[in-house]
Amino acid sequence: MTVPTEPIGSIPRPLPLIDAVSALGDDTDPKLDPLYDEAIRDTICRFEATGSPVITDGEQRKYHNFLTYSVHGLPNTAPDGFKIPFAAGHVRRMPRLTKGPFRYRRYADSYLDVAMRYAHVPLKQAVISPSALSLMYPADGIHGYSREQFIDDLLREHETEIRRCLHKGAQKVQVDFTEGRLAMKIDPSGHLLNSFIDLNNLALSRFSAEERQRIGVHTCPGGDRGSTHSADVDYADLVPRLFELKAGNFYIALAGEPDRVRVLKIIRDCMKPDHRIFIGVVSPIDPRIDRPDTVRDRVLEAAAYIPVEQLGTTDDCGFSPFSDDVSTSRDAAFEKIKARVLGTALAVDVLLRGR
């Protein structure tokens, strides 16, 4: 018996890299290449030292953020797009598409090219969801470029990105769907969330059942500068629709929830037999370093509701989804990851003794 454990994605960038990007004002300047390369090498080395059986490159080169890495710098965009307000009072913004056609500027498999030079264990790759990028299309439309054309282009680009990551050798491709919970805050009627689920399923339906076992969906209430954007939204409003997504793996933030058992019961009642549920057992925005025995207890708590053969563990969120977020240090991030790995192993020992 085993309980797989995986990270979500981002690790805080080294301060010299953050300072250099800020000084140059351009995250693509070739002068930064040695700093990026060293950040990736160091991230992978430290990730492997935690014992994590699956790792990422820490999204070191996804410099702008996890949300718009694929379109950052496109000439047919403007910076005044969709607003994402956080509880702490700050706002992040999406770019706004100004004209067609819609194309990615970069695909996430390019990050695997570098990471695979250094990694000795399997790598996973996070990609952004079609529903998140659909927010780039303005509500009043674009002359000569219909929303239908945009959606066709968006789905094609997303499918291309996932296929490139799978072909490149990613063990898993994780679709970041943080806007799922946010959708219920924006539109409590559920219409927006339903449209997001339908759009993402149009993309996921392009993959075979076998391929979808290597594809997962991550949901959380957001995490940026120690704050969230939708933690006040009841998981009961999200989870039943979430499990309608045609994916084999689900990564669900849970450590930061005030009533984990209630959420676990909702998951138990809605999950399907072919799902693997990775529950969050450490909270990146909690400044306290998690203890392995605390993680163990969270895993055992989850095992009372989710069959062990369908259970996995993860982090609630990435540790620095936006590259300028320094609210969590690199050292703290790796200590939390180590606690996740050790705590999961401790839980497995207890579960084995109980059989």
Please list, residue by residue across 10-28, b when 16 or more beta carbons sit within 10 angstroms of its beta carbon and e when fewer do. bbbbbeebbebbeeeeebe
Angle between helices 260-270 and 292-303 (to 10 degrees): 40
pLDDT in 10s for each residue of the chain, 355 residues: 699 999 999 999 999 999 999 898 888 889 999 999 999 999 999 999 999 999 999 999 997 799 999 999 999 999 999 999 999 999 999 999 999 999 999 999 999 999 999 999 999 999 999 999 999 999 999 999 999 999 999 999 999 999 999 999 999 999 999 999 999 999 999 999 999 999 999 999 999 999 999 999 999 999 998 999 999 999 999 999 999 999 999 999 999 999 999 999 999 999 999 999 999 999 999 999 999 999 999 999 999 999 999 999 999 999 999 988 888 999 999 999 999 999 999 999 999 998 6
The predicted pLDDT at position 110 comes to 96
6 within domain boundaries = no
The predicted pLDDT at position 355 comes to 67
Give me 173's structure tokens: 């491709």
Round to whole Å and give the CA distance between 321 and 109: 18
Round to whole Å and give the CA distance between 5 and 79: 37
The predicted pLDDT at position 354 comes to 81
Give the number of domains in the chain: 1
Round to whole Å and give the CA distance between 170 and 112: 8
85 within domain boundaries = yes
Please name the amino acid found at residue 270: C
The predicted pLDDT at position 28 comes to 82
168 within domain boundaries = yes
Task: Measure the CA angle with vertex 135, ends 163 and 102; round to 5°.
Answer: 55
The predicted pLDDT at position 99 comes to 97
Round to whole Å and give the CA distance between 84 and 92: 5
**Domain at 57, CATH number:** 3.20.20.210
3 within domain boundaries = no
Full residue range of the structural domain in which residue 31 is found: 15-353
332 within domain boundaries = yes
Please list, residue by residue across 165-184, b when 16 or more beta carbons sit within 10 angstroms of its beta carbon and e when fewer do. bbebebebbbbbbbbbbbbb
1 within domain boundaries = no
pTM for the complete prediction? 0.96
90 within domain boundaries = yes
Q: Is 57 exposed, middle or buried (0-12, 13-18, 19+ CB in 10 A)?
A: buried
8 within domain boundaries = no
Task: Judge contact between 37 and 114, C-beta under 8 A.
Answer: yes
